[in-house]
Amino acid sequence: MVVQMTPQEKRALDSRAKRAGVPTAEFVRRSLNASDDIGEHREEIEAMLAALEATAPQVLQSVDTAMASIAAMSATLDTMKIETQS
């Protein structure tokens, strides 16, 4: 099969295949199968994405809280280190 594409598109395709560690033809075959899988599971994927989007603020808040806790512990350890050196 011959597929018309620009030299830039061909380079991009070859580059993506190389990064995937497969020949270009295999990369194209896998891409076609992957796009079929997405189509078959679109509703499930969209539901998961919606759930991730809904929980993102909570996750970010948890990360902020953890980072603040780490910073406080680090400051305490620094103080303890200075006190033991004195």
pLDDT, tens digit, 9 for 90 and up, residues 42-86: 788 889 999 999 999 999 999 999 999 999 999 999 888 887 876
* Per-domain residue ranges of the chain: 1-40
The SS3 assignment for 86 reads coil
Task: Return the pLDDT at 37.
Answer: 66
Residue 24's contacts (CB-CB under 8 Å, 6 or more residues apart) are 13, 14, 17
> Rounded mean pLDDT of 28-36?
81
pTM (whole model) above 0.75: no
Place of tokens 């303890």: 80
pLDDT, tens digit, 9 for 90 and up, residues 42-52: 788 889 999 99
